[in-house]
Structure 1
Amino acid sequence: MSNAIVRQTGDGSVVADNIWQFRLGAVPLVLGLVAGASAALLAARALGRARRAPDGPPPTSPPTPRSWPVVFAHRGGRYLVPEDTVEGFAETLRRFGDVVLELDVHATADGVVVVLHDDTVDRTTDGTGAVAEMTLAELQELDAGYRFSPDGRNFPWRGRGVRVPTLAEVYRQFPGRPVNVEVKGGRSGIEEAVWRVVEAAGAADRTLVVTTSGAAIRRFRRASGNRVATAASVGEFVLYRALGVIGLADLQNRRFQALQPPDTWRGVRVTTPGLVRRAHDDGLRVDVWTVDEEADVRRLLGWGVDGIMTDRPDVLARVLGRVPA
């Protein structure tokens, strides 16, 4: 969600809706995508010509992540723990066992990759200001558990030393744990910085990177030499859907290994059984956000999705037959 003109300070669902609206305008994400078929056909022809151009062999692609847990703890499970914090991730793992850590990253003023959802610290800490304008030292003076409340009245994590973590710290604290990284913020060089952290941690094979921006995800793929699995940007996803509808799916030069669509977007169903089947036929995984209701969880599991991003890992634990600790 890095290059839309929207302040990333609200609830994830509100911000995500703004991003998808910014990207897609009035074109509904339905199976037909009839309104976009003509444009998709032209794009497909251009892609076909590009693929036939004598530019040498295509770059290698990383394998699609397999055998990951179905539970993606969205920001660690933000309704249950302080979001995007080491303490929150640890508590979720203690209570619910095998989960993927889903998190968001920004770059600080001094170029450090930190884990935080919003582009400001106002909503989740006791401070104020833009992440991109603060140094790591300034950020880590803040209480990142200050505003978390499970009921709107009590604040059990205040004053317990919860800090804004770096991405490197998350990798160190949770070795071997799959991590889904959403790159945010418009700071120049963040894609290269994320890759350096992943590489230093030896975590390329347990990381999946996503950003809604096509330009940003292309920069990350170049920086990493296509050694880290990525999810489709919004534009790539729309093209994937449209080309599939008009029978030209093979003309898309796919560089992604995953689709990460919302379950619905402004009341329109985005994830469908057909989409899941086609993605699996194409060797892609499908991870859906953000799903907190038990009925929706059961429906998506029945469709065979690979991952469910949730703010309520307790709900998924119950559906999956796990007893929360």
Structure 2
Amino acid sequence: MEAVCGILVFLIAVGVYVACSLYLLRNPLIIHRRKRLEFYCRHISHRGGSGEKIESTIEACTHAVDVGTEMLEMDCHLTLDGYVVISHDENLLRQSGNDQTISSLKFQDLPLYKDKLEVTFNAKHYSSGKDRRFALLEDVFQKFPNMPIVLEIKENNDLLIKKVSFLVQKYGRDGITVWASEKSDIMVKCQKENPHMPYMFTMRRGLLLLLLFYTGLLPFVPLGESLLLFYLPRIINRTYIPEEAILKKRFVVYLLEKLTMRKSLFEHLIKRGLQVQLFVCNEESDMAAAFSIGATGVMTDYPTLLSNYIAKHPPPPPPTVY
């Protein structure tokens, strides 16, 4: 009899937990305060729009802004003489043909980009442009003072983080510049250096997010992050050819899509004031898929294409809290 009562109590407790979790998943503001960001971006240009101009150049960013982008995404590194440079790679071989690192060269000695550069997320397609110079982060901040920017820190470099934070504060951009990094140890340093900047989920925190979601604990847990940036899995092995062998397996990509592209997860995050951006969408069908699954924003290498898509298929207006 005691065993039966114990099982009954356990089942009731589980039922109450599940009911509370589901209710709070749909109504998170009962226990959480909504984040209020200074931006709401549907249109994000990856590497400044690397499909239409040479990636990460001033020309690329200018073009993206001119055709209607609402946010720029870029990466930065530190030169030998201490300048913060916009570049996806630390090693310059892919971009310039020179097998040297940015950190080993002074800014004035950096080579030019190649005449034509393959678009990483659109295999066998190339971009070109008049501007082939590596850009300084400070020049980007000066030219686009009000443009939100996702700024990825790839190197665990304390001086780089300090200089980026200094420039953000110098130009009063704390609320519209997002700390980005896949690595949690780097993100901890970024947050410590400038806790006023919004920041994205790292890889480790993203995995924890999924664990919390599938165990039902997510509605009860506070979140410091403001952005969730993630691959749209359907692009893998189609427009994007990954280097990782495991991502070349069709079943792995299928499983990744089923586990991560959860509309109820995205809706929960959005209700809490976070933004969900899926990348890198370089075809209209992928843009449509990203918005349909609940993304607040889409990141692309082709800002003109995305602007045209949004003009033809306007998404819902942003929440009034923004």
TM-score (normalised: structure 1) = 0.71
- Where 2:175 maps in the other structure, the secondary structure is helix
Structure 2 counterpart of 1:291, from 260, 274, 281? 281
Match of 2:305 in 1: 315
Q: Which runs of 5+ in 1 are unaligned?
A: 1-60
- Where 1:204 maps in the other structure, the secondary structure is coil
1:200-225: per-residue Cα shift (whole Å, max 9, x none)?
Answer: 1111121112100101111101000x
1:271-305: per-residue Cα shift (whole Å, max 9, x none)?
Answer: 32122112113321111111112122112222331
Amino acid at match of 2:261: T
With 250-259 and 197-206 compared, the bigger mean Cα shift is at: 250-259
CA gap of 1:123–1:285, structure 2 versus 1, over 3 A, is same
Q: How far, CA to CA, are the matches of 2:34 and 2:154 in structure 1?
A: 22
Structure 1 counterpart of 2:140, from 170, 174, 197? 170
Q: Which structure has the bigger radius of gyration? A: 2
Q: How far, CA to CA, are the matches of 1:232 and 1:302 in structure 2?
A: 22
Q: CA RMSD for the aligned pairs?
A: 2.7
Structure 2 counterpart of 1:201, from 146, 171, 174? 171
CA gap of 1:152–1:296, structure 2 versus 1, over 3 A, is closer
- Where 1:304 maps in the other structure, the secondary structure is coil
State percent identity of aligned pairs. 20
1:44-100: per-residue Cα shift (whole Å, max 9, x none)?
Answer: xxxxxxxxxxxxxxxxx9955354331111011111110001111112222x22431
**1:155 offset after TM fit, Å?**
7.8
Aligned 8 A contact 2:58 2:131 in 1: no
Q: How far, CA to CA, are the matches of 2:114 and 2:127 in structure 1?
A: 8
Match of 1:277 in 2: 267
What are the equivalent positions in structure 2 for 1:15-26 lying under 5 Å apart? none
Match of 1:85 in 2: 57
Q: How far, CA to CA, are the matches of 1:293 and 1:161 in structure 2?
A: 25
Match of 1:232 in 2: 201
CA gap of 1:235–1:317, structure 2 versus 1, over 3 A, is same
Q: How far, CA to CA, are the matches of 1:240 and 1:310 in structure 2?
A: 24
Amino acid at match of 2:45: A
CA gap of 1:243–1:112, structure 2 versus 1, over 3 A, is same
Aligned 8 A contact 1:64 1:257 in 2: no
Structure 2 counterpart of 1:116, from 79, 84, 87? 87
- Where 1:205 maps in the other structure, the secondary structure is coil
Amino acid at match of 2:47: R
CA gap of 1:82–1:154, structure 2 versus 1, over 3 A, is closer
What are the equivalent positions in structure 2 for 1:217-228 lying under 5 Å apart? 217-224=187-194, 226-228=195-197
Higher helix share: 2
Aligned 8 A contact 1:121 1:131 in 2: yes
Structure 2 counterpart of 1:184, from 154, 169, 179? 154
Match of 2:105 in 1: 134
- Where 1:319 maps in the other structure, the secondary structure is helix
Amino acid at match of 2:149: V
Q: How far, CA to CA, are the matches of 1:296 and 1:262 in structure 2?
A: 11
Q: Does 1:101 align with 2:72?
A: yes
Amino acid at match of 2:268: R
Q: How far, CA to CA, are the matches of 1:156 and 1:83 in structure 2?
A: 9
Aligned 8 A contact 1:63 1:229 in 2: no
Aligned 8 A contact 2:95 2:114 in 1: yes
CA gap of 1:152–1:319, structure 2 versus 1, over 3 A, is closer
Match of 1:259 in 2: 228
Aligned 8 A contact 1:144 1:163 in 2: yes
**1:173 offset after TM fit, Å?**
0.9
Q: Which runs of 5+ in 2 are unaligned?
A: 1-32, 237-246, 248-252, 313-322
Aligned 8 A contact 1:144 1:164 in 2: yes
